Chain A
Amino acid sequence: MKGLRGGTGGFLPLFLLLPAVAFILVMYVYPFALSIIRSFTDEAGSLSLVNYHKAVSLYGRDILFSIQVAVLGTLISTGLSLALAAYIRLSDSRVARLVNSMSRLGIFLPYVVVAQMMRSFLAPHGLLNVLLANMGLVDIDTPLQLFNIRGLTFGFLWKETPFITFIVLSGLQVIDDTYIEAARSVGARTRHVILRILLPMIKPTIAIAVVLTFCTIVSTFTLPYMIVAGNPTTVTVDIAHRVTYFGDYRVASALGVFLYLIVGAMAIYYLRRTVREEVYGY
């Protein structure tokens, strides 16, 4: 069929795509380029590294903190998700189904709600400390201080573990039961079925989920802004301070470029893989 399968669409497809593409060019690509240019420009408007110098000397510790949170959050949530997804896939018990539906909750809750939730739950006198203190696990006078890397990581785990579990589980559910039965019939134990058969079959899916989680954690502003008290904090919070307190767009842009660099390799992997699959089908 001419035209429908492509080929002779002529300018029609470009015309159809024009509004969306034009919008992204003006509202995304232009400010993206601007953020890089601005980061290399000094007050007088000439090429300079002064913003990077400032960014590193003032916020070097926070750059490391952002990386630390992202690595920690991604590793733990991936580990938990793989275990949960494999358990849900292999078990047909009521508990597994219940765990599955409960774990979906986090995927759709917006970060601003999660942030408020964590702010009240993890507070020094919040519900978690109240419960722990009443169970005698925490001293009433010295409750857990969680408005730092621990609470932040917990918040990210709460939101991202359901997401990875959902993606990985969708991958696992496509795998035919016969693979599992065949492995079991030659004596493979559950651990081997998961580690040697199921997970290797969906490696690309796992990779995409991990990469997207890493990028999301690095990019998120809401959660650290609302729950991390004082220093060290994430680069996203520093960017907001730089802009709202100092009106300093240049150092903020340099910090933004650091964010681009942190997600760099992962983001490029995701872009290449997704584009290649869509365009060439592999």
Chain B
Amino acid sequence: MGTKWRRALLEGLLLCLVFFVIFGPISSLLIWSIAIRWYWPHVLPQEIGLAYWKQALGLQRDWAIAAVSIWGAFGTSMLVALVSTALVMTMAIPAGYALARFRVPLKALILLLFLMPKAFPQQPIFVNLLPTFTRWGLAGTVQGVILIHILVCLIFGVWITTSAFKAIPQELEEAARSVGATRWRTFWKVLLPLAAPGLLVSTVFVFITSLTEFTGTFFIGLPFVTTLPMLLYSSSGYNMQFASVIAIVLLIPSLLFMVLIQRVFRPEYMGGIAG
């Protein structure tokens, strides 16, 4: 009886601790996003309201509220993320198919290329691309930022796509081939529909990675390309409320993604670890 109570007590403590550590910072964002006035050291704001949300969403314009409409940055972010995702998947699907289904010459070397950007810091890469991008007229342009986002996202696209194809047993394709279907037809009619859920995970993961990309955009895009993370950064120093509103907007896609793919997400997606 004694150990049972002790166990329940310990579990209760653990639950409280985990809850506080995880939701403390998140609730700080939530409270700040609706705080109009919040003076130290009060536990809760003196005045709350949706003024910053309304202003950020373009529903009102009040010079007394230090927030601008986020729709411009939202549009830029969506444009960059949609184009980057389309281009990444166009490259990642053939690459993933080749890695999953063929004996590729120089496979070790090719895999190394796709793993290195995860192992080594990417910041020196962005820094060293900047002079080249400036020469080519790509620095500070949406096109330049898209190129950087493709770089950041491509490896995830290739890993998840490869693992999505690998998860489909080859026997079905072999059956199709043995009754005379061409390789192209087999890929299109057999493999692609079967791998579709995995490819969808890959696409959404790439999209969200692009949507929330910070470091590459910071070096290549600033000060002319303002994505949502850049807008968050620029308001973060002086305006806790507005920054919190943007952070929550950026948090929503990741949360939706997490809820939706909870069951199908596998550890090898995160690290290119062999499944």
Contacts and interface: CB of A to CB of B under 8 A. Distances in A.
Nearest to B273: A208
Given A130-B40, A275-B108, A253 B247 contact: no
Secondary structure of the A side of the interface?
helix
Interface stretch (B12-20, B46-54, B61-69, B194-202): B12-20
Contacts of A131: 24, 43
B117 interface: yes
B127 A118 contact: no
Interface stretch (A4-12, A52-60, A178-186, A191-199): A4-12
B22 interface: yes
B120 interface: yes
A5 B170 contact: yes
A38 B132 CA distance: 13
Interface string A240-261: 1001000001001101110110
A127 interface: yes
Contacts of A215: 118-121
Interface in B97-141: 97-99, 101-105, 107-108, 110-132
A93 B15 CA distance: 12
A256 B25 contact: no
Contact of B29 (A23, A93, A102, A120): A120
A147 interface: no
Contacts of B212: 110-113
A219 B41 CA distance: 36
Q: Which of B40, B240, B258 neighbours the largest number of chain A CB atoms within 10 Å of its CB?
A: B40
Given A127-B24, A271-B116, A259 B124 contact: yes
Contacts of B233: 112, 226
Contacts of B272: 274
A270 B119 contact: yes
Interface residues of B, number: 100
Given A14-B105, A95-B15, A253 B127 contact: yes
A20 B95 contact: yes
Size bracket of the A interface? 35 or more
Interface in A220-249: 221-222, 226, 236, 239-240, 243, 249
Contacts of A9: 98, 102-104
Nearest to A281: B274
A1 B174 contact: yes
A108 B254 contact: yes
Contacts of A107: 258, 270
B158 interface: yes
B150 interface: yes
B247 A17 contact: no
A130 B43 CA distance: 6
23 contacts: A1-B177, A6-B104, A17-B110, A20-B95, A20-B154, A24-B155, A25-B113, A27-B150, A35-B128, A38-B128, A87-B14, A111-B214, A113-B247, A120-B28, A127-B24, A133-B41, A205-B267, A215-B118, A249-B127, A256-B121, A256-B123, A263-B120, A270-B119
